[in-house]
């Protein structure tokens, strides 16, 4: 898509193996490569849980071996305002956000891109596993060559303009090929473990982190019929479909089966749980998504068929999409879906092309019964 010819490219170096190999490949292709390490978290008390210092040293070592300059930029203020505040607001509202999508659209492909352009770059590059294709109709976002590592889900909200100035050098490679190139180049991070989770949370318990920022609001754990099974420390600590960490255990008169979070009743601050993994309360066949973003700039059609993912690791699910307006659509799945979660993203695909996506705002109807009916039964039982 872009002719190297010493074109100035700044690579977002995270300290990981993927961005390191991205820089290596670009230099081999003839680009004028520089690196930039983004520091997105500056809370000194919290930094002990983050690996940013070690990651910076890994990035610096890669740049020394490649003989390219390394810049370091602090985007903590932008991250806190555009990503972290949204993260907390969503949890406070009882939803389950995915900050990685916003980090890409607001920080890596907006703030970082603008910063790189001010440094004189013509393009930026990252170690994301994704590909782009230029067509007469514009740029298309495509899945990666490694299906297990594909990150197009997290890139669906990046603007067309930003994508047109971005390179994904490892997008066509398998992860094992990337590690092998890093090993051949002598990079110390060639076997470095892939980062998981969110940097500012680190290895500690998620509940411990949230408790520092949001007040606890304990309430009851109930069955759909209103039987109280225990108490919870706050609805924000749970996500739909969750099995672990409920603290209910076996109960006399109940089957020896695990419990699952089926719903959050925000009005009564109650956590509704069921024992069947495929309970009707955990099954939905439609959703309403808002804050839509289409890679091409517009929906493919007012109504269309495609596949979708309602969470990152999910297999593609066949669905029918009806566009309500520029900001909202309704999705009808061909098969019931388990634990569709407000706050998460639904991302649409046609074969290997990522069309775009939006934030899940409403879900339903469930296969049998619904939460409001459960609440009515609970009040009647009382």
Cα separation, 134 vs 182, whole angstroms: 28
Q: Where in the chain is the domain with CATH 3.40.50.620?
A: 8-191
Joined tokens for residue 97 = 């956000």
Give the span between the Cα atoms of 220 and 235, in whole angstroms. Answer: 10
- At 372 the pLDDT is 39
**CA–CA distance, 178 with 158 (Å, rounded to integer):** 24
CATH 2.40.30.10 for domain 280-363, yes or no, is: yes
Q: How would CATH label the architecture of 8-191?
A: 3-Layer(aba) Sandwich (3.40)
The answer to whether 15 and 58 are in contact (CB under 8 A) is: yes
Supply the pLDDT for residue 370.
Answer: 39
Domain with CATH 2.30.30.280 in the chain: 215-277
Q: What is the pTM of this model?
A: 0.91
Per-residue pLDDT of the chain (382 residues; tens, 9 = 90+): 566 778 999 999 999 999 999 999 999 999 999 999 999 887 655 555 567 888 999 999 999 999 999 999 999 999 999 999 999 999 999 899 999 999 999 999 999 999 999 999 999 999 999 999 999 888 999 999 999 999 999 999 999 999 999 999 999 999 999 999 999 999 999 988 887 666 666 666 788 888 889 998 999 999 999 999 999 999 999 999 999 889 887 666 667 789 999 999 999 999 999 999 999 999 999 999 999 999 999 999 999 999 999 999 999 999 999 999 999 999 999 999 999 999 999 999 999 999 999 999 999 864 443 333 333 333 233 3
319 is catalytic: no
Cα Dmax for the chain: 75
Q: What residue ranges of the chain are covered by domains with CATH 2.40.30.10?
A: 280-363
- Distances from the Cα of 220 to the Cα of 234, 249, 339, angstroms: 9, 15, 21
H helix intervals, the chain: 17-28, 52-66, 76-79, 85-92, 99-102, 112-118, 152-155, 160-164, 175-185, 206-211, 371-381
How far is residue 125's CA from residue 1's CA, in Å, rounded to a whole number?
13
Strand order from edge to edge, sheet including 219-222: 228-232, 219-222, 270-274, 260-265
The total of other beta-carbon atoms located within 10 Å of residue 135's CB is 8
Residue 199 designated active-site: yes
Instruction: Give the active site residue among 50, 103, 329, 374.
Output: 103
CATH architecture observed for domain 215-277: Roll (2.30)
In angstroms, the CA 7 to CA 9 distance is 6
Q: Which of 50, 199, 306, 319 is catalytic?
A: 199
């Amino acid at each position: 898509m872009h002719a190297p010819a010493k074109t100035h490219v700044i690579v977002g170096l995270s300290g990981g193996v993927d961005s390191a190999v991205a820089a290596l490949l670009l230099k081999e292709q003839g680009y004028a490569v520089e690196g930039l390490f983004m520091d997105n978290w500056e809370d000194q008390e919290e930094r002990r849980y983050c690996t940013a210092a070690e990651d910076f040293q890994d990035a610096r070592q890669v740049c020394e071996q490649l003989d390219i300059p390394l810049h370091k930029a602090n985007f903590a203020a932008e991250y806190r305002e555009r990503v972290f505040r949204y993260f907390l607001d969503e949890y406070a509202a009882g939803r389950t956000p995915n900050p990685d999508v916003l980090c890409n659209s607001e920080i890596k492909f907006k703030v970082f891109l603008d910063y790189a352009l001010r440094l004189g770059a013509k393009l930026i590059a990252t170690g994301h596993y994704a590909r782009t294709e230029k067509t007469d109709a514009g740029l298309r976002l495509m899945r990666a060559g490694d299906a297990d590592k594909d990150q197009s889900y997290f890139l669906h909200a990046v603007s067309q303009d930003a994508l047109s100035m971005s390179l994904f050098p490892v997008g066509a490679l398998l992860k094992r090929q990337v590690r092998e190139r890093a090993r051949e180049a002598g990079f110390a991070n060639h076997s470095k473990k892939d980062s998981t989770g969110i940097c500012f949370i680190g290895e500690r318990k998620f509940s411990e982190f949230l408790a520092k920022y949001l007040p606890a609001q304990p309430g009851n754990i109930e069955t759909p019929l209103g039987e109280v099974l225990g108490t919870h420390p706050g609805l924000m600590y749970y996500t739909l479909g969750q099995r672990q960490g409920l603290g209910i255990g076996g109960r006399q008169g109940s089957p020896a089966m695990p419990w699952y979070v089926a719903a959050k009743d925000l009005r009564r601050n109650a956590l509704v749980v069921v024992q069947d993994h495929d309970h009707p309360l955990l099954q939905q066949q439609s959703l309403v998504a808002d804050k839509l973003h289409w890679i091409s700039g517009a929906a493919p059609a007012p109504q269309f068929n495609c596949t979708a993912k309602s969470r990152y690791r999910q297999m593609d699910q066949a669905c029918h999409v009806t566009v309500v307006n520029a900001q909202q659509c309704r999705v009808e799945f061909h098969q019931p879906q388990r634990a569709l979660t407000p706050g998460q993203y639904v991302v649409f695909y046609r074969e290997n092309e990522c069309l775009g996506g939006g934030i899940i705002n409403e879900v339903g109807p469930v296969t049998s019964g619904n939460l409001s009916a459960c609440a009515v039964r609970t009040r009647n039982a009382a």
